[in-house]
Amino acid sequence: MAHRSQSPFRGKFLKCSLFLVLVFVLSLCFLSKKGSHTFFVDHVLMNIAFPFQKAVTVTTDTAGRVFRNYFNLVNTKKENEVLKEKVNDLRAQTVHLEELERENQRLRELLNFRKEIPTPMLPAEIIAASPTPWMDTFVVDKGTKAGIQPGMPVVSEKGVVGYILKTTRFVSTVMVLTHYNCRVDAIIQRTRSHGVVGGLLEGQCRLFNVLRTEDISVGDRVVTSGFGNRFPRGLLIGVVKKVKKKPFGLFQEAEITPSVDFNKLEEVYILLKQQTPLVFKTQSRHE
């Protein structure tokens, strides 16, 4: 009996509950429609999906930035390589232009020097140096075919270089001023004192056969005297570096720094004039 009395009440409760739920749902739908065109279910789904959409968006953006940065780095590296190549090309062009300018400067000096010397001369290029530093010789690209003979003087715009030692048809060997067998008649420009310049084994020059009574000072310029009909008068040979005057004897001597840097020579002039053969002296080192 008790069980039957509770059934109608329970049915009424369920009906009321369903009615209230329906009213609640309809109210929510009404409210959602009033503020927006989105249904309530849509709101629920959007709220549920939002975290996932956010995560996907962040991941996608991050990946996009990584790939963009990677491609930017690759492009930057390629641009840097291209720029480096351009810089290297510009440096090479600059070096080439500087070399041309220096060569033009040397040629201008040689041409100006040539105008000052009345003796006919032939330009020659150095094509080989001596195999050992103490031999004091080098090879030029002119020989007997060009009229070159042993004994002809060799000069540069800086001063005296030496003599032609030997020749072939197309090349010649030059004996430079520092060679022990080289001899050039000279005077001291300041005092006009006469002497002879010769080479030393150490690659230096000395002025000897100068009377003890003559005045020689460090810094004096030594030039060709013109005697012997080899070099024109007044060509620079070098500068006095040190004076050596012994307490006895008739002569004094001095160490000379040549005006020509033989290690940097590239072009020379050979004076074209009939020459007598060179006679090498066999005297001792300390003449």
Q: Report pLDDT digits (tens) over 32-46.
A: 554 444 555 555 555
**Chain-centre distance of CA 20, in angstroms?**
95
The CA distance from 73 to 68, in Å, is 9
The CA distance from 25 to 34, in Å, is 14
Cα–Cα nearest to 270, from 159, 90, 142:
142
Q: What is the pLDDT of residues 206-239, one digit of tens each?
A: 999 999 999 999 999 999 998 877 888 899 999 9
Sequence-distant (6+) residues with CB within 8 A of 58 are: none
Please say whether the beta carbons of 126 and 268 come within 8 A. Answer: yes
How buried is 258 (Cβ within 10 angstroms: 0-12 exposed, 13-18 middle, 19+ buried)?
buried
| Statement: residue 264 has pLDDT above 90 | no
What global pTM score does this model have?
0.61
Domain 121-271 sits in CATH 3.30.930.10: no
Bridge partners (DSSP) of residue 209 are none
Please say whether the beta carbons of 269 and 114 come within 8 A. Answer: yes
Q: Write down the domain spans for the chain.
A: 121-271
The CA distance from 90 to 84, in Å, is 10
